[in-house]
Structure 1
């Protein structure tokens, strides 16, 4: 793994391999901010500079910066650069991001509601024993991260669970779409899972979905996925206001 990320991430190489690259890159950028004592208003390195420094693709840097912006750590100004946010002035950083990006958030859930219930239905009919084992393992990891209060890894694991459902469809086009969504539309995951109680609710909703897929019940699988996504959107609207 890249030297800087390895140096800035706690744990063994084996544990690093299990963690999504975006989480590792996000943590590495946070470490840069801490190590260089960057303050509110300071300009962060450019995407190109961060890409070269961390030895990862610019798309990985872009994804990490989106997550840092949603969490209120940085502010990205098109054409100007990335700047450190004023943490003291922010009442609720995720709330500010949701308000500013309401349209893209609506589009995020609109696309997921079009694709994922059908994916869950197909997965229930095609999932192999190995697919089910992966789903169960990913679900258990998600539960563990939620119980430990590790929000960033819980969010990563939540995305991995949804991707595992897509992979169980055996449809390469659908898998590609879900992988793209997980990498480029993950602000919706991030925003929803910062709503108080949403992580805990997701444990039950994921479990209902997993049981339906294991039972090979296509209708129940689609229903469980649609309920999960609609609940997430409703919780965002309830907590942050209508979007």
Structure 2
């Protein structure tokens, strides 16, 4: 999943980016609202972490623009302003949650996980597709009872596939969702990760075509017995 962090406090932005990256999210960081708006219009984001006070375009105006464009993914608003009136303004602008600085980083990560679960195919603790289970709290993957060891990027790719199910994902779309702008790979890298995932899934007992190739389009998961 891809997250945009809009925060003009460079040190805090680095802390947030590191914490989110450690949890297997692709993270882009910008320091002002206008640049963030350009990035929003160029990439798909599953969640936006947004400071209230920003140069060029403040967080409230930015959030209002998002909702006016029918952006339905969650927005977590961060601010040093702690009055009830400020919280109401942020929530009325379209924020889904609101945390006051300084905040506990672990609580923020928990709230972000909760926001990302809303409207997704996630279970309480992860993702399920047939006999495959991904635990988003421990990043453990099992097929039936077999534990599968994945690299961080393999886990992110498999989670993306499970979250989208039968929807076809192109290689370019996969790159956009799980790699940052600072480290974009080639499409051959995506093919290599898909090959490795298939090998590991097969070793755990999954069918050869658990990840299907839709020629000329991309990849999707095989139908489950339930459809």
* TM-score w.r.t. length of structure 2: 0.32
Higher helix share: 1
- Structure with bigger strand share is 2
- Structure ranking higher on relative contact order (CA contacts 8 Å, 6+ apart): 1
Instruction: State TM-score, norm by structure 1.
Output: 0.30
